[in-house]
Chain A
């Protein structure tokens, strides 16, 4: 009884906030747990989860809130990753960036390469988005997919930067005050980026811009009849989302010190979508939970059988058919709905 009252209290003590609190508590205390157990793999693994959580969150902004089913989000992740990778590779070679004028050298400074990764991913999202948003529904899905695929093949044929084999980096980026080779530092960077981007998106969604984006998902015709230039708002949301994915890509490149066209593959785009749906579409915590559980599931299932995808596939179908609200929906019920 007491529990029920506790949960039904309509104030800060909502089940949603409880989930958020527990999630934050776990993530914040993880470095401590890792150092007590002397388990550095734990931090490396969870860092990767946080990076994918960032990518999934950015994707949810367009799918869950904006109603734009982008099936090519790996492209922006890949652009972010290659930005970091190419800049670093030039440092390794001691060469200048050949395709740009002015003999610009490469760099390993995170202060340059991370923002640049976001900027370039945003630019690519601007171009692809501007073309894709001329269409709707199934066309939009297929066109975003095809554009991502175009970039994928472009990088496969880009022999200068490793082609199909990918590109090894000189090392991780340098940031003042942080040592990215230190697993704990790297973990904090990932958690910081995820939190920062998450808070920004949260603010945006609560502001007038967010109301328009939600309106565009629920009833785009009505939005236009009310005088909103929906195209522009959706495009801006698409770019913001692409920048988030670009940042995730930049972190992922640092994580593995290697980039390859696989980062842009449609398979990864699909996986990002799976994470969003698994965790809870149209919520901010959902994609984070989704990314963590998807990668955890991969980790656990892969421990039993190398053919773990034969279990994952049908599982995915069951989730789609029988549980629309994802993990967050199962945890907090109707309160999960925010899109």
Chain B
């Protein structure tokens, strides 16, 4: 009679969002368990990024509930959600271009160490920022680029830096919006390996087009079509789901 399953880390229920007459999110329900790597797939215009934006708080949902770590996120601001442990990256890497790689991570770390209303001690030489920053850069393989300006990094490096900055905020859940977008084959596989490693430390919810990466990386997958979740489950379930085949996979396999 006692339910032993732990509560999900993220539980989205009855989420709705409408732009004018266009319903972009319809009664969406998604569960992301602790430690899970969860993928959202779907054709263009399915409302994937809109959904991510509603979880991170950049867009307000019209109705529904987003329960994260037993806290309701709806109604909270972007920075409040980030503080609760929701980290994210964007489709086009969003960095501080006029800062160096190391400064980018140090800035992200600042918020992890309490407020930043500190007016006196020089931040650039603060060991309590430098040491963890170098540690994180080493983890994502950007140590050699520590003094390069973010604006001068290569595409893949920018994406890695963005993930590094998210990690610096010690998130419980990482929202990744097409982490492999614009990457070559080799870079993509490196990223997949990196994300798999990351998945052992933090739960991940990511949006991706590329089926190969999704099936190899995700523990579970939710399929979004026209704002509605039409299927949810592990890779086999999704592959064999007739609805998914009709709406989505069929088209690709036939091509």
A residues near B (Cβ < 8 Å) are: 203-204, 206-212, 214-215, 218-219, 221-230, 233, 236, 337, 339
Contact = CB atoms under 8 A, between A and B. Distances in A.
Pairs A-B, 8 closest by C-beta atoms? A227-B82, A224-B78, A208-B116, A208-B118, A227-B83, A227-B111, A224-B79, A222-B94
Interface in B89-113: 94-99, 103, 106-108, 110-111
Contacts of A204: 119
A33 to B, nearest CB: 36
B56 interface: yes
Contact of A209 (B95, B116, B165): B116
Given A211-B107, A227-B111, A229-B79, A222 B95 contact: yes
A206 B108 contact: no
Contacts of A228: 79, 111, 116
Given A208-B116, A208-B118, A209-B116, A226 B169 contact: yes
14 contacts: A207-B118, A207-B122, A209-B118, A212-B110, A214-B98, A214-B99, A218-B98, A224-B79, A225-B82, A225-B88, A227-B82, A228-B111, A233-B116, A236-B117
A225 B78 contact: yes
Given A214-B99, A218-B97, A236-B117, 14 more contacts: A204-B119, A207-B118, A207-B120, A208-B110, A209-B119, A214-B98, A215-B96, A215-B99, A218-B98, A221-B78, A222-B95, A225-B88, A226-B82, A228-B116
A76 B79 CA distance: 30
Contacts of B56: 225
B124 interface: yes
Contacts of B108: 226
A209 B120 CA distance: 9
A204 B108 CA distance: 18
A224 B118 contact: no
Contacts of B116: 208-209, 211-212, 228, 233
A293 B71 CA distance: 57
B121 interface: yes
Contacts of B106: 211
A209 B82 contact: no
Contacts of B77: 224, 229
Given A207-B119, A207-B122, A226-B111, A219 B79 contact: no
Contacts of A236: 117
Q: Which of A210, A215, A339 is the most central at the interface, judged by chain B CB atoms within 10 Å of its CB? A: A215
Contacts of B117: 208-209, 233, 236
A230 B116 CA distance: 11
Contacts of B87: 225
A229 B165 CA distance: 17
Contacts of A230: 79
B79 A203 contact: no
B94 A219 contact: yes
Q: Which of B88, B98, B124 has the most CB of A within 10 A?
A: B98
A215 B107 contact: yes
Nearest to A339: B98
Contacts of A229: 77, 79
Contacts of B124: 206
Which has the most chain A C-beta neighbours within 10 Å: B83, B118, B121, B126?
B118
B94 A211 contact: no
Contacts of A212: 107, 110, 116
B58 interface: yes
Most buried by A among B79, B106, B165: B79
A212 B96 CA distance: 11
Contacts of B111: 226-228
Contact of A207 (B88, B94, B107, B123): B123
Contacts of B94: 219, 221-222, 225
B238 to A, nearest CB: 29
B119 A221 contact: no
B212 to A, nearest CB: 28
A209 B115 CA distance: 9
B78 A210 contact: no
A274 to B, nearest CB: 24
A206 B122 CA distance: 5
Contact of B123 (A211, A233, A339): A211
A221 B58 CA distance: 9
B120 A222 contact: no
A221 B79 CA distance: 9
A225 B171 CA distance: 11
Nearest to B171: A227
A208 B111 CA distance: 10
A337 B99 CA distance: 12
Contacts of B95: 219, 222
